[in-house]
Amino acid sequence: MGKKNRRRHMDMEAEGAVDAPAGRRVPAGDGRGGVPPTGAATKATALVPASDLLARLDSLAVFRALLDDPVVSALRSLLELSAEAGRTQGSGRPAPDEAARLAGAYAAFVSELFASGASSLAAYVRDAAEVDANVYVRTVGSGQTPSAAMEACVTSELATLQRVADLTPSRLLSCVGLSGAADGAQPAGDVLAGGFLPVFDAEGGVDLAADFRTRVADIGRYGYGMFARYRAFTLDAAGSIVAVRHPDPTRLANLADYEAQKRVIVDNTRALLAGRPAANILLTGDAGTGKSSTVKAVVNELADEGLRILEVSKDQLHLIPAVLDELSANPLKFILFIDDLSFTVNDDNYAALKAILEGSVAAKSSNVAIYATSNRRHLVRESFADREGDEVHLNDTLQETMSLSDRFGIHLTFEKPDKRTYLDIVRQLATAAGIDYDPADLDALAERYALRRGGRSARGARQLVDALLSGSQHVAPARRDG
C-alpha cells in the first residue's frame, strides 16, 4: 500500500469508515461502539468476522472477569470454533459437519443465556458489565480517580461489549459463517434446514457506555459485584461474605405498632446513608416483639438508596474487624446485624464486641453501623455465684460486665404489647391481609390465641393472621355477614 493510500486508510479507520484491525483498541466517539453523547441514539455496530470479535473479547483487561461468565464463555467458544474453521462473513456456507458443530455451539450459547434467566443478550451483557467488580469500579468506589490509561481502556472495552450486545440471532449466525438467517427464522440447507435452531430476543437501543457511566457516577447507590445484585449477606464458616439470594421480604408497612422505635431506626439509618455520624443501635425486649423484623424491614425500604445488611452470628464476632476492613473501601452503606445477642461470664466474644463498640483503631468504619437485638436488657448473663467472686474489686468487674449495652449509642426497648396494643396489631394485620371478620369475634379469637401461646406478642399476632389466611379451622371465627 502506497503512502497516500495508507494515510487515507488510517483516516477512514479513525472516522469509523472501516473496522480497526483485530484486537486494536477502538477510540472513544468513533461511531462503532465508543461512548456517545448522553441521550444519543444507539446505532448497531458494524458486523465483524468471528475471529475479529474473538480477538476483541480476548483483549479485555478491565472487564476480563467477564470471560469466565457462563454466557460470555459459551459465546467465545462459538466464535473460537468458527475462527478455527476459517469461516468469515461472505466466505460461503460451511460443510455439513462444520455446520453441525457450529449449530451445536450456537445452541449451547443460547441455552446458557436462557439458563441465566435472561432471553435478551443485550440486557444480559449490560447487566453483567454494570455489576462486574473490576478494578475500575473499585477505584472509583474507594474515592480515587482512575488513571487516563484506565479510562481509555474502559472506553475501548465498552465498545467491544457493545458489539456483543448488538448481536441478534441473524447477525451472530452470519458472524460465525452460518449466513442466510433472518431474525426469528432459520437458515435453510443441510443440518439447519429443520428449523430447530433457537433464537434469543434482539433488544435494540441498549447503550452500554451511557448506562455504565450513569451507574459509576452514582456508585454509592448502586455498588458493584454481588453487592449490586443482592441486599442481604452473611458470613460463611471461613469468614467470607456470601449473598443471601432469598432474604426476608418484610417491609415496614407489614409491621404494626412500635412506630416510635421504627422512626428512630429509620432516622439513624438515613444519617448513615447521608454520610453523617450514625449510632450503633441495641434493640432489646421480649421475644416476638418484632426487633429483628424491624431491622430487616428498614433495610428493605432503603436498599435502593445504597443500604445493605450483613448478618453476623455471635460466634463470628471475632471476625468483625477483618470484615470492617473489607467493607471500608466499599461505596455502599452497611448494617452489621447481630441477632439474639447475649454472653456468659468470661465469654471471649464479649471482649471482641466491646473493642468494636469502643471504636478501636482497627474497627472504625464510617460506612457501617452495628444493629444488635437481644431479649435481655443486660447482655451478660450472670449468676449469684458470679456476684460472690473472690476478686478484690468485684464491683468494678460487675459494672464492666453490665455496661456493654451502654456502649451502644441508641438503646430501644420493644415491650410486650398490652391488650389494647395487641388487638390493634391483630386488626391492622388482618385488614392489610384482606381478612373481613366481625371485630368482636376477631378480638375474642386473638385473646384465646394469646392465652394458648402464653402471652400477647407481635409475632403471635402475625402467626394468627397467617393461620387465618391458610384457612386453619382451629382458629377461624365466623365471618362477618354481607
**Does an H or E element contain 282, and which?**
strand 281-285
Query: What pLDDT score does 380 carry?
Result: 59
DSSP letters spanning 387-398: HT---TTHHHHH
Take residue 231 and report the three cell numbers written for it.
Answer: 441486599
Q: How far apart (Å, rounded) are the C-alpha atoms in residues 256 and 378?
A: 27
How many Å apart are CA 337 and CA 302, to the nearest integer?
Answer: 15
Quick check: 178 and 99 in contact, CB under 8 A?
Answer: yes
Q: Is the dihedral of CA 165, 169, 175, 180 positive or negative?
A: negative
> How far, in Å, CA of 402 to CA of 273, rounded?
31
Q: How open is the CA angle 308-459-372, to the nearest 5 degrees?
A: 40
Q: How many residues belong to the chain?
A: 482
Closest C-alpha among 168, 165, 203 to residue 183: 168
The C-alpha cell 430487616 sits at 296
Torsion sign across C-alpha atoms 430, 434, 436, 437: negative
Q: How far is CA 265 from CA 296, 315, 335, 340, 370, in A?
A: 11, 25, 11, 18, 12
Strand 343-344 with 241-243, pairing: unpaired
Q: Which pLDDT score, from 0 to 100, does residue 470 have?
A: 81
Q: Please spell the DSSP secondary structure of 383-450, one letter per residue.
A: -HHHHT---TTHHHHHHHHH-GGGGSSEEEEEPPP-HHHHHHHHHHHHHHTT--B-HHHHHHHHHHHH
Note the pLDDT of residue 408: 87
Top-tier CATH class for 230-414:
alpha beta
Return the number of other C-beta atoms located less than 10 Å from residue 6's C-beta. 10
**Are 137 and 218 in contact, with CB atoms under 8 Å apart?**
no
Q: Is residue 117 within a helix (H) or strand (E), and if so which, with residue range?
A: none
Give the HSE-up count for residue 15: Cα atoms under 13 Å, Cβ half-sphere. 7
Domain ranges (residues) in the chain: 23-227, 230-414, 419-469
Euclidean distance between CA atoms 394 and 63, whole angstroms: 60
Dihedral sign of CA atoms 145, 148, 149, 155 in order: positive
Give 93's contacts (C-beta < 8 A, 6+ positions apart). 99, 177, 178, 179, 180, 189, 190
Per-residue pLDDT tens for 277-295?
A: 999 999 998 888 889 999 9
pLDDT of residue 17: 33
Give me the residue label for grid cell 436462557.
114
- CA gap 223, 130 in Å, rounded: 9
pLDDT computed for residue 245 by the predictor: 93
The model carries a pTM of 0.76
pLDDT under 50: residue ranges of the chain: 1-42, 87-90, 181-193, 361-362, 383-385, 387, 392-394, 398, 478-482
Q: Distance (Å, rounded) from C-alpha 248 to C-alpha 310?
A: 13
Residue 319 DSSP class: G
